[in-house]
Amino acid sequence: MISICEIISVEPQKGLSLWDTDNGGATPLHWATQCGSAKVVRYILQAGKSPHGLAPFLVADKDGVTPMHIAACGNGKILQMFIDATSAADDVFGLAQDKRGRGPLHYAASKASVESVRLILDSPILGLPVDAKDSCGLTPLMCAVGIPFAQ
């Protein structure tokens, strides 16, 4: 049985790229993250930086949403992969801001993803301040208020 990673690995020979985007600017890593495909995410991370020199998980779509934002919504396994792949040179706070000025911590808080919030807060390399305000002046804590918790 052929795996998706094997298919992806031969696609560049056909003129396709891991950096191609859809109409909304999403890359294959955005989609793999959304689908929770850890194997494909790992494969893309191993391919290295984007043509613009960015870590693949910091490449934004047209709304400024990065794969890190998507993972922060509740996929702790993939979020941890992104954290592990983060280097000191990656400006996560500067680059992982959507058009509303929301970072991954805002997304995790908005989705009541306790695991993602903990991963982000426990990771000093990300450098994401807990009191960062979006364009409406909302902090991650404010985004979390009113979210019904299942626990």
pLDDT grade for 34, boundaries at 50, 70 and 90: very high
Domain total in the chain: 1
The answer to whether residue 150 sits within a structural domain is no
The answer to whether residue 14 sits within a structural domain is no
Rounded CA separation 97/20 (Å): 21
The answer to whether residue 70 sits within a structural domain is yes
Which amino acid, one-letter code, is at 23? N
pLDDT grade for 14, boundaries at 50, 70 and 90: low
- Residue-wise pLDDT for 39-75, tens only, equals 999 999 998 899 889 999 999 999 999 999 999 999 9
Q: With 50 as the cut, is the pLDDT of residue 150 above it?
A: no
The answer to whether residue 89 sits within a structural domain is yes
The answer to whether residue 41 sits within a structural domain is yes
User: DSSP secondary structure string, 77-94?
Assistant: HHHHHHHHH--TT--HHH
The answer to whether residue 31 sits within a structural domain is yes
For the domain that residue 104 is a member of, what is the CATH number? 1.25.40.20
Owning domain of residue 124:
24-144
The answer to whether residue 126 sits within a structural domain is yes
Q: With 80 as the cut, is the pLDDT of residue 133 above it?
A: yes
The answer to whether residue 4 sits within a structural domain is no
Q: With 70 as the cut, is the pLDDT of residue 86 above it?
A: yes
